[in-house]
Structure 1
Amino acid sequence: MPIERIYIGYTNPPQYIPAFTGYHYSAPQPVMTKPFILRWGIISTGRIANCFVTDLLVDPETRDVTDVAHNVTAVGSRSVQSAEKFIAEYAKGDKSIKAYGSYAGVFADPNVDAVYIATPHTLHYENALDAIKAKKHVLCEKPVTSNAAELRSLLAAAKEHGVFFMEALWTRFQPLTLEVKKISESGVLGAPLALQADLSDDFQLNEIPKTHRALDPALGGGALLDLGPYPLIWAILALYEHPYNQGAAPSNVSGTMLKTPLTGVDCNTSFTVTFAKRELAAQAILSCNMNIASYHTGAVIRYEKGMITIAAPIYCPKSFTVQYLEGNKVTKEETRQFEYVGTGWHFQADEVARCVRDGKSESSLWGHDKSLVEMDVFDEVRRQGNYKFPPGVEKVV
């Protein structure tokens, strides 16, 4: 019997996204004559910030979003000139955007509702705390903090000051990810049993300065915190979030590291995350490397009756393949492809806008519990790998 192969392409977002309106959000979108507009302040002007802002300014209607929209109203950098240059290059030179030579100026700006924090890992805690104390809603880049203790402190502060707080794990909000979750939890493939995921990149470590974020331990350098969130997010999505798991934390985490002699940060890290506390018995084998390139298959989720293969790059994949099995025999194969205007950063911004509009303190898609699972896993892997940050880096321990 020949294998049935089905190729499904989504090339026009307005035809695709509406199918997930009810699935993506816990409550139906309200009927609104005008979109809710969230006013953003941008903290830092590096590469990640320019990716986010470029997508933020894409017309939401290109992805069939009409209930929320975004304005950039302020940019903070180390100098006014740097902020002005960023606005000119990545915010269409919009003269209405206020350029600040400090982050404090953004936090104090009454025309800013929410801030996007794109500073290095080890600055996230203090930047986010300053924003929270200024009663700004916060979207903070991954990894959200240097350790789990810092995150717990920020969550307590966000609750005290009544603001929304979320880690910017943009992969979780992309259309492809939502579809993978839907299939994973539909039961058509049975229970998940095993998962493998890797993200690697050749940083040319011998060619970059030791002060580079990838190499500097004072900036949280190394493969685990920089690349590790992306393999782990697929384990959280497919295993931790699965209904069979009933919200249980991993039962075991085991990790190992190889460190570069250049600065002592981890260059190659692999870790296993096991779930075996409730109805789910599954294991994720995850890896991240800073001295080699990734390979095409970024993640594979294996189930009782099939598997889902996710193409690289796993932080923003554009296709996945589902294989249906009878024993070891593939009986059907489906490949699904996704395209949209922009590079995928805007979906998380839409989620923040809706949560702020609805008065929520956290997202139902990437809630505080999931960031805590992530940081608890990373803390344990670092402990087992004997990777300690320099004194003073961790503001809460």
Structure 2
Amino acid sequence: MASDSLYQLRWGIISTGYIATSFVKDLLVDPKTRDTRDVAHKVVAVGSRTVESAQAFIDRLIPENDEVKAYGSYDGVFADETVQAVYIGTPHTFHYDNALAAIKAGKHVLCEKPVTTNSAELRSLIAAAKEHSVFFMEAMWTRFQPLVKEVKKIAESGDLGKPVVLHADLSGDFDIHNIQTTHRILDPALGGGALLDLGPYPLVWAIIALYENPANNKAHPSRVTGAMVKTPISGVDSSTGFTLTFDPTVSSNTESSLAAQALLSCSITLDAPTPGVTIRFERGTITIEPPIYCPKTFKVTYLNKGVQQEGAKAASEGSFSKTFEYVGKGWHFQADEVARCISQGKLESNLWGHDKSLLEMEIFDEVRKQGNYVFPPGVEKVVEAV
């Protein structure tokens, strides 16, 4: 504890790639710049394949701090007694082994998305985290950003009515004909393809807007349908579309009253569209500007000229838009959530709990099954019993 009112969480960083770099840069942003005064963060250890690469990472990002330890293995970080929480930024198919090792070492874990390659692996990790009494969360950073909280507030206020149809897409042109087949986006041994790499982001908006809507009462989609286009380069999905149908007439949750669909897509051969997310309600529409993983601007249009929200800028009659600005790139909000949960003795987040990550992975399992995308032998460390 840095003081009676400020809880400082000590982090160990696993991997020294782009994602870990982005996360650590945001950890070092002064929390007061985002009006956060209850938690703070400190990096105390970094693990990489070699001590030299770990030290280079530290020298580049934390040059003024000679107390950060460099390890030439991940196990060194897991064994470090000064580390409270571990951030895992390794490729998808390493998440299970890395997270399990951290959990068994008694460390709290924030693991990059997709948290595992399938739902069976995730159930195993959740069970292990409970057994060892450690906090465990998927790093679904979008869910904790201020724009998302504001959109949820408006969407669930009742002014727009219930959501009916959601369209969301995250695509990126990876120039797949001119990169090596060992690149993470093309290599099936690394969980390559559009679905696992990009799919979590259109899906998180469906979970936020539909699954989390009070009218849904936590009912799972009554039907999931998906289709894939695969690239002959390596057999991974180059484009995937999937639909989630919430139909209260066939839902096992009799208290759900949400009748809605989410039409979701992702591609590794296209640029992202604008808007990236469109949520159509009974009495209006919310559109989200890209990038949908860290959006800064949204627009609300009321069909019934609804009341304007406080602090918003009117764009036209019956509509308004709002833009958010803050220091950093948006990774620190999830870190704040981890610190708060750990300081309060929680084992999972109320905002992005285990149930939502499980729903995500179950949907991906079903879409891959329908698309006949099977990982190479040995990639999935845990599989469901047949």
**Does the alignment pair 1:213 with 2:213?**
no
Q: Which residue of 1 aligns with 2:363?
A: 377
Conserved 8 A contact 1:301-1:309? yes
Question: How has the CA–CA distance of structure 1 residues 221 and 93 changed in structure 2, closer, same or farther, with 3 Å as cutoff?
Answer: farther
Q: Which residue of 1 aligns with 2:373?
A: 387
Q: Which residue of 1 aligns with 2:276?
A: 298
The structural deviation recorded for 1:331 is 5.2
The structural deviation recorded for 1:263 is 0.3
Q: Give 1:270-349 correspondences, 5 Å limit.
A: 270-276=241-247, 277=251, 278-326=256-304, 332-349=318-335
Q: Give 1:195-206 correspondences, 5 Å limit.
A: 195-206=166-177
Letter aligned with residue 130 of structure 1: A
Work out the number of aligned pairs and report it.
364
Taking the aligned partners of 1:268 and 1:321, their CA distance within structure 2 comes to: 28
Tell me, what secondary structure is at the counterpart of 1:106?
helix
Conserved 8 A contact 1:87-1:93? no
Letter aligned with residue 264 of structure 2: L
The structural deviation recorded for 1:88 is 1.0
The structural deviation recorded for 1:94 is 2.0
1:250 maps to which of 210, 216, 221? 221
Q: Which residue of 1 aligns with 2:311?
A: none
Q: Which residue of 2 aligns with 1:184?
A: 155
Instruction: Give 5+ residue unaligned stretches, structure 2.
Output: 306-315
Question: How has the CA–CA distance of structure 1 residues 132 and 239 changed in structure 2, closer, same or farther, with 3 Å as cutoff?
Answer: same
Question: How has the CA–CA distance of structure 1 residues 331 and 306 changed in structure 2, closer, same or farther, with 3 Å as cutoff?
Answer: farther
Q: Give 1:68-147 correspondences, 5 Å limit.
A: 68-147=39-118
Conserved 8 A contact 2:17-2:89? yes
Q: Which residue of 2 aligns with 1:227?
A: 198
Taking the aligned partners of 2:317 and 2:207, their CA distance within structure 1 comes to: 28
Taking the aligned partners of 2:230 and 2:174, their CA distance within structure 1 comes to: 14
1:169 maps to which of 140, 149, 153? 140
The structural deviation recorded for 1:274 is 0.9
Taking the aligned partners of 1:83 and 1:264, their CA distance within structure 2 comes to: 34
Question: How has the CA–CA distance of structure 1 residues 259 and 338 changed in structure 2, closer, same or farther, with 3 Å as cutoff?
Answer: same
Tell me, what secondary structure is at the counterpart of 1:286?
strand
Letter aligned with residue 197 of structure 2: D
**Does the alignment pair 1:149 with 2:135?**
no
Taking the aligned partners of 1:331 and 1:66, their CA distance within structure 2 comes to: 38
Tell me, what secondary structure is at the counterpart of 1:253?
strand
Conserved 8 A contact 1:193-1:303? yes
Taking the aligned partners of 1:197 and 1:246, their CA distance within structure 2 comes to: 22
Conserved 8 A contact 2:15-2:48? yes
The structural deviation recorded for 1:376 is 0.4
The structural deviation recorded for 1:212 is 0.4
Taking the aligned partners of 1:156 and 1:144, their CA distance within structure 2 comes to: 14
2:18 maps to which of 47, 59, 71? 47
The structural deviation recorded for 1:93 is 4.8
Q: CA RMSD in A?
A: 1.1
The structural deviation recorded for 1:296 is 2.2
Taking the aligned partners of 1:240 and 1:51, their CA distance within structure 2 comes to: 29
Q: String of CA shifts for 1:15-57, please: whole Å, max 9, x gaps.
A: xxxxxxxxxxxxxxxxx74410000000000000000000000
Tell me, what secondary structure is at the counterpart of 1:73?
strand
Conserved 8 A contact 2:304-2:318? no
Tell me, what secondary structure is at the counterpart of 2:226?
strand
Letter aligned with residue 70 of structure 1: H
The structural deviation recorded for 1:304 is 0.4
Taking the aligned partners of 1:92 and 1:264, their CA distance within structure 2 comes to: 43
Taking the aligned partners of 1:289 and 1:324, their CA distance within structure 2 comes to: 31
Taking the aligned partners of 1:319 and 1:258, their CA distance within structure 2 comes to: 31
Letter aligned with residue 336 of structure 1: K
Letter aligned with residue 158 of structure 1: A
Letter aligned with residue 203 of structure 1: F
Tell me, what secondary structure is at the counterpart of 1:267?
strand
Tell me, what secondary structure is at the counterpart of 1:284?
strand
Letter aligned with residue 242 of structure 1: N
Taking the aligned partners of 1:117 and 1:93, their CA distance within structure 2 comes to: 24
Letter aligned with residue 360 of structure 2: E
Conserved 8 A contact 2:142-2:294? yes
Taking the aligned partners of 2:162 and 2:198, their CA distance within structure 1 comes to: 27
